[in-house]
Chain A
Amino acid sequence: MIVDARQVEGDLSADICVVGAGAAGIAVVLQFLAGRQDVLLMEAGGEDDEAETQALYGGEVADEKLHAPPVNYRRRAFGGSTAIWGGRCMPFDPIDFAQRPWMPGPGWPIGIEDVMPFYPAANAICEAGDFAYTAQAAFPGGMRPLLKGFAGRHFSDDTLERFSCPTDFGKRYRARIAQSRHVRLVLHANVTELRTGVDGSFVESLAVQTLTGRAFTVRARRVVLAMGGLEVPRLLLASRDRHARGIGNAHDQVGRNYMCHIAGSLGEVHVAGDARDHWHSYQVADDGVYCRRRFALRAQAQARLGVGNFVTRLHHPRIPDPAHRTGALSALMLAKPLISYEYSKRLHGEAALSLDAWAGHVRNVLLDPVDTARFLLHFLARRTLAARKFPTVIVRPKNGVYTLDFHSEQEANPQSRVALVAARDALGMQRIRVDWRYTQGDIRTVRVAAEALAADMAESGCARLSFDPQTVEACALRDGAYGGHHIGTARMATTAAQGVVDAQCRVHGIRNLYVAGSAVFPTSGQANPTLTIVALAVRLAETLKKDVLF
């Protein structure tokens, strides 16, 4: 059932109230469509984008070069940020859950075995096909090699990333929710405060407001916050009726250890052999899903080298520099004003392009009309118009020289944080300030991993990677924190002194309050977070189903 908070008369009550209808919130309620529990799903936005609602996300950032404004890479509407995500899916690795003495922070209080049972369901919800993340499992008949002859001591090229359509959870699961007698989706319902009971040990009610001036209360036996890694700490910190520092924040943990990923491109990869000996593009599995190999730093190598998790892919040259002489890439550069902020960020480069550079891009297009037209037609047919979209721009460099596109773990750092500021939004709720910080440990992971890959390529004799170690930091920070991955701000830990939620995602000290989403991740790993967000959400739903109170 779908209702609108602007038309709700009186207060609401339910067995379970889920706040936020994005990937996590929708994944939770999908487990209750035919259950016994009465579930409310509170969505701050409507079914479509609304500027006034989106503006409620506004806030400050310490450094805009390092982190996008909080209104970007997020969407306050039914479906949440799944309306703008790229669809890249991969599970966390076992080592992400292991105790790693060389990495800061307490790590996860649960093991991969606690999450693995829920990954296949998460894969299905994300529409990423089979839960098969190795070349052998996904392509029993064989998959094209990334680099023919590659055999790495440090890196494996056998693991895959799979791609969702990308699925907009709101559109995809609307019908299921609308027909459910057990789940009520309440649109335009902004939860602005959690009110706790007399001893502060449980959430008694939620304060809800609409932008049209309505206010009401929701009471639920269980409350799940699924609002994303920036809004979860915001609401916890803003709820101070009986917790002066905010709910779950007795030990000043809420909003700290904020992580994204360290990502960028670096170096030059000169590939030996002819074009048939390397393949950096996608292959479609039998289930119709786009899959792609990448180089993944092996767990043993991470331990031996004392670094975080790291993956990298062969990539086209940096687009802003017209020296690549590739018409397709220059066409993208010229189309930058037509591309959304989230997808055009990498087209910016460090500085504004000179007139000469723009002229260079025009020249590239004019001198490369056939390949440019072919690329644009492919883009139109396989991405713009396709129901399952070709995931990213893939262009084979004309000179056979690739760069490395890397995606690296960011380590937990208490100084990297999300906090409240005095400024308030239209509903009177305090806005956030994002002070994202990286460490030299983060940069070391990229540099050391790149050196290890260079050694693997040299030993394999299939390619040569060269890069200037002095430029690694600049490469890693060229585009700032990886957008949209908001991790760690209510992290999972055994004790309240180390984190915000326990191993069951329940807020320490609050017996009926849970968090779903990447806010609970104690580490960021190499993987994009959505698949694990959904897996943990399904796990949380199972926990709630077993709750003796029900």
Chain B
Amino acid sequence: MTAAGGQVLVLGGDGFVGSAIVAALARSGEFQPVRGIRRARAGAVPFRLCDATDPGSVRRALDGVRYVVNAVFGGDATLRAATRAVCDAQAGLERVVHLSTMSVYGEVSGLVDERAVLAVDAGGYAGSKVACEAIVQTYVAGGGAAVILRPGVVMGAGGQQWAGRLCRLLRARRLGDLGEAGDGFCNLIDARDVGAATVAALRAPEAVGSAINLGTPGPPRWNEVLVRLGRAIGAVPVPRIGRRRLAMEARLAVPLHVGKLVATRCGLAVGTLPEPIPPALLRLFAQQIRLDAGRASAVLAFERTSVDVTLADCARWFLESTPK
């Protein structure tokens, strides 16, 4: 264990994952979270205005802070700039916890532990996260103390990326039981568990300098998650979606995405266009990858939320926040 806590700056502290981390830190009684955010927003937890992509801004925000959690979410430039800003700040930090993703493993299958080769040639989000991990590893090689967390699918009440999107698509009957196309593993982890894991990562000395997967031991398959969510939000009967239909969705994804951008530029109502289902998401549904959660259990030893509770919370939140 490290010495007693101290202030922890959470970059991206108002995001979905960042908020869960802030809440877990506040509950810890040991750490004092500070939200590092771009625009002032009231809340029980104090904040410091900070543009995470601006090294100077980050350096100023780190004044008096012992720890940083990088939970910034955004495009490639944002992710890389924020990671560089933290690692180059030379602020004498005791520890950095960097939120990465299971996407860094690329489209591999089987049981994957932290020693697996990263998908260095991956493009898009995965490529950005691989690049960010490389920045953190350079920081560690230079004597910095950092822990990289690689969560799977972070779900929970309020999460638009997963719970919200999946529930909307289930309600629209565009997702359901996907058959073999949904036979991949859903390496889900509750957002609260990411928070608990982050607290543990700040405490555990053996975590420093390494990457740790965050997933559910014995994860459910995507079909199970989709059918259970669908039933929980009343999107019944949950339809079987065939390969032809999914292929059509994949083909429509780019036109729909472009259409939304154009509509936004023109000030038109974006909501009238169907939500695109990116081909990468469809590939994930079929990916037979199981995150090895053994190291997280051994090193971080945080208490996990059951899949049942996570899915029930997601459904309850969706029903309350998204009327039909």
Q: Footprint of B on A, CB under 8 Å?
A: 34, 127, 165, 167, 171-176, 179, 181, 284-289, 385-388
Question: A388's closest neighbor in chain B, by CB?
Answer: B240
Bound-complex Cα distance A176 to B182 (A): 12
Question: B238's closest neighbor in chain A, by CB?
Answer: A288
Question: A124's closest neighbor in chain B, by CB?
Answer: B224
Q: Which residues of A contact B179 (CB under 8 A)?
A: 127, 165, 167, 172, 387
Q: How far is the CB of B291 from chain A (nearest CB, A)?
A: 13
Bound-complex Cα distance A174 to B110 (A): 14
Question: B235's closest neighbor in chain A, by CB?
Answer: A286
Quick check: A288 and B177 within 8 Å, CB to CB? Answer: yes
Quick check: B177 and A176 within 8 Å, CB to CB? Answer: no
Bound-complex Cα distance A387 to B244 (A): 9
Q: Which residues of A contact B27 (CB under 8 A)?
A: none
Quick check: A171 and B180 within 8 Å, CB to CB? Answer: yes
Bound-complex Cα distance A167 to B179 (A): 9
Bound-complex Cα distance A464 to B236 (A): 36
Q: Which residues of A contact B242 (CB under 8 A)?
A: 386-387
Quick check: A176 and B183 within 8 Å, CB to CB? Answer: yes
Quick check: A288 and B237 within 8 Å, CB to CB? Answer: yes
Interface string of B235-249 (1 = CB under 8 A from A): 011111111110000
Question: B243's closest neighbor in chain A, by CB?
Answer: A387
Quick check: B240 and A387 within 8 Å, CB to CB? Answer: yes
Bound-complex Cα distance A174 to B183 (A): 10
Quick check: A285 and B109 within 8 Å, CB to CB? Answer: no
User: Across chains A and B, which 7 residue pairs bring their CB atoms closest together, nearest first?
Assistant: A387-B242, A388-B240, A286-B236, A179-B109, A387-B240, A284-B237, A288-B237
- 23 inter-chain pairs at a CB distance below 8 angstroms, sorted by A residue, are A34-B111, A165-B179, A165-B240, A171-B180, A172-B180, A172-B183, A174-B180, A175-B183, A176-B183, A179-B110, A285-B237, A287-B227, A287-B238, A288-B176, A288-B236, A288-B237, A288-B238, A288-B240, A289-B237, A385-B244, A387-B241, A387-B245, A388-B177
Bound-complex Cα distance A287 to B238 (A): 5
Q: How far is the CB of A384 from chain B (nearest CB, A)?
A: 11
Q: Which residues of B contact A34 (CB under 8 A)?
A: 111
Is B286 in the interface zone, CB < 8 Å from A? yes
Bound-complex Cα distance A174 to B179 (A): 12
* Interface contacts beyond A286-B231, A287-B227, A387-B245: sample of 15 additional A-B pairs, CB < 8 Å, sorted by A: A127-B179, A172-B180, A173-B183, A174-B180, A175-B286, A179-B110, A181-B110, A285-B237, A286-B238, A287-B231, A287-B237, A288-B176, A288-B238, A289-B237, A387-B242
Bound-complex Cα distance A362 to B183 (A): 46
Q: Which residues of B contact A181 (CB under 8 A)?
A: 110
Q: Footprint of A on B, CB under 8 Å?
A: 109-111, 176-177, 179-180, 183, 227, 231, 236-245, 286, 288
Bound-complex Cα distance A284 to B235 (A): 13
Quick check: B240 and A286 within 8 Å, CB to CB? Answer: no
Bound-complex Cα distance A172 to B181 (A): 9
Q: How far is the CB of A481 from chain B (nearest CB, A)?
A: 32
Q: How far is the CB of B224 from chain A (nearest CB, A)?
A: 9
Indicate the member of A286, A385, A387 with the most B CB atoms within 10 Å.
A387
Q: How far is the CB of B179 from chain A (nearest CB, A)?
A: 6
Q: Which residues of A contact B231 (CB under 8 A)?
A: 286-287
Q: How far is the CB of B305 from chain A (nearest CB, A)?
A: 24
Q: How far is the CB of B136 from chain A (nearest CB, A)?
A: 30
Question: A33's closest neighbor in chain B, by CB?
Answer: B288
Bound-complex Cα distance A173 to B221 (A): 13
Q: Which residues of A contact B243 (CB under 8 A)?
A: 387
Bound-complex Cα distance A173 to B286 (A): 11
Question: A172's closest neighbor in chain B, by CB?
Answer: B180
Q: How far is the CB of A284 from chain B (nearest CB, A)?
A: 4
Q: Which residues of B contact A175 (CB under 8 A)?
A: 180, 183, 286, 288
Q: How far is the CB of A362 from chain B (nearest CB, A)?
A: 34
Bound-complex Cα distance A197 to B110 (A): 37
Q: How far is the CB of A137 from chain B (nearest CB, A)?
A: 15
Q: How far is the CB of A34 from chain B (nearest CB, A)?
A: 7
Q: How far is the CB of A145 from chain B (nearest CB, A)?
A: 20
Q: Which residues of B contact A174 (CB under 8 A)?
A: 180
Quick check: A288 and B239 within 8 Å, CB to CB? Answer: yes
Q: How far is the CB of B97 from chain A (nearest CB, A)?
A: 31
Bound-complex Cα distance A289 to B238 (A): 9
Indicate the member of B109, B240, B242, B244 with the most A CB atoms within 10 Å.
B240
Question: B176's closest neighbor in chain A, by CB?
Answer: A288
Bound-complex Cα distance A194 to B273 (A): 62
Q: How far is the CB of B319 from chain A (nearest CB, A)?
A: 16
Bound-complex Cα distance A279 to B183 (A): 35
Q: Which residues of B contact A176 (CB under 8 A)?
A: 183, 288
Q: How far is the CB of B44 from chain A (nearest CB, A)?
A: 40
Bound-complex Cα distance A173 to B243 (A): 15
Q: How far is the CB of B288 from chain A (nearest CB, A)?
A: 5
Q: How far is the CB of A492 from chain B (nearest CB, A)?
A: 32
Q: How far is the CB of A386 from chain B (nearest CB, A)?
A: 7
Q: How far is the CB of B203 from chain A (nearest CB, A)?
A: 32
Q: Which residues of B contact A387 (CB under 8 A)?
A: 179, 240-243, 245
Bound-complex Cα distance A175 to B109 (A): 10
Q: Which residues of A contact B239 (CB under 8 A)?
A: 288, 388
Q: Which residues of B contact A386 (CB under 8 A)?
A: 240, 242
Q: Which residues of B contact A165 (CB under 8 A)?
A: 179, 240
Q: Which residues of A contact B176 (CB under 8 A)?
A: 288
Indicate the member of B176, B237, B238 with the most A CB atoms within 10 Å.
B237
Q: Which residues of B contact A179 (CB under 8 A)?
A: 109-110, 288
Q: Which residues of A contact B111 (CB under 8 A)?
A: 34
Q: How far is the CB of A548 from chain B (nearest CB, A)?
A: 25
Q: Which residues of B contact A388 (CB under 8 A)?
A: 177, 239-240
Q: Which residues of B contact A285 (CB under 8 A)?
A: 237
Q: Which residues of A contact B237 (CB under 8 A)?
A: 284-289
Q: Which residues of B contact A287 (CB under 8 A)?
A: 177, 227, 231, 236-238
Bound-complex Cα distance A171 to B245 (A): 17
Question: B178's closest neighbor in chain A, by CB?
Answer: A387
Bound-complex Cα distance A288 to B111 (A): 31
Bound-complex Cα distance A120 to B177 (A): 17
Bound-complex Cα distance A2 to B180 (A): 17
Bound-complex Cα distance A285 to B288 (A): 28
Q: How far is the CB of A177 from chain B (nearest CB, A)?
A: 10
Bound-complex Cα distance A173 to B288 (A): 11
Q: Which residues of B contact A284 (CB under 8 A)?
A: 237
Bound-complex Cα distance A385 to B243 (A): 11
